[in-house]
Structure 1
């Protein structure tokens, strides 16, 4: 995410009701007393693009492309101005400060910028910070702290990033980053919890992850380790066969070296199977 507004030449000169922009699920704006989704699809896309680049000026032409693609209306600048006005009304209602909303959604050549007031937040920014905290704790071998940070990061998600917002290239790129980081965070959370000996309680969640993401071998490896530690090596080998079959059918390839080595060690009745965290 970008640097705070005050450091980018936009002095923060208002203190209103705290507003949170939530994009880790259905796009919505949450104020002190209400949460609201933006019903109009084009206004919703506009808000999504602005939140992606919060505290940055986005050129009007770039916003128009995000909303209409390669075929904008003939009077696209006027139409964009209407959508900006509609969005300001929404932010004014939620923030409880209709007169000061222009300080949040500002006009700056060559376009517009969404600024954060004191106490305002973006859930994706909080997610990123928590993942960084978890990685830092993991590097220092502070497993309980890392597990809590990764768990708090994942708890911010309410569904697919941006929900059903009409996706332009800017939103699509941001959503791809967010979803990939979510998967990485999930992998790290499971690895940390395995190291902490939470094998049996992880079997159920890991089964769901393997079913939902059979091409991500990390989840299969973690599930196999948890099953072995729960004295269920036969079930661990069934997981391997499921992944082997799925990869062959979907991609025509075999499991990676790490998963093959784990299978070999289970077949050899190796009692010392490492978890293998990479922070």
Structure 2
């Protein structure tokens, strides 16, 4: 029996609903959460993944949530303060291979697409990729059965118009740090679940883990962007460190060139 879903504060209400639908896909291929677990939520946004874990475990969890973008971190910190009973630490920086200051593109009307890898030069190509994935999701029955019968060209036009919000972006200078430094600083002696959703910077996050800390990590689930180019490298990192690895990509993810990597001891 788990507690009722927390109604989080959010920047855009539709995004909480979208992320709630997505979260279930993280718990597959043996990835589980047990009471008393320690979870790292890397790329936390407003804390939907963290809330799901907290609800599943009736609050018996310790969560460290990383969100470097100031507008999102402010909301995450408010959620931590009001809903997590001291169990969530909201950290105001991202993770990378080393200490650095990076420019992040922030999309106020679609914050889930914010990234250090997106900018005015490539956002249009990304918008088309995201459009293709949403069209495929609709064709698979997402967003209700009625839309499945709308011709694909019409869907692409409608979705593309909605995603014009991705053309409106802000640039924020943010801090990133290596995970090993954070583990030392926070006194974290085990990581029962490492969740990574960082919009293309997944390898940078994993490169910030020193060899001495890999034995502390029991499970990981990573959303991988640029699936065709990055999947094998991500899988190799985990298999080299003794994990059983599963890689998964559904039709909707294929349209977006993303996928999921699950790694379990």
User: Greater share of helix residues, 1 or 2?
Assistant: 1
Larger radius of gyration: 1
Asked if these proteins are the same fold (TM beyond 0.5), I'd say no
Band of TM-score, shorter chain:
under 0.3
**TM-score with structure 2 setting the length:** 0.25
User: Greater share of strand residues, 1 or 2?
Assistant: 2
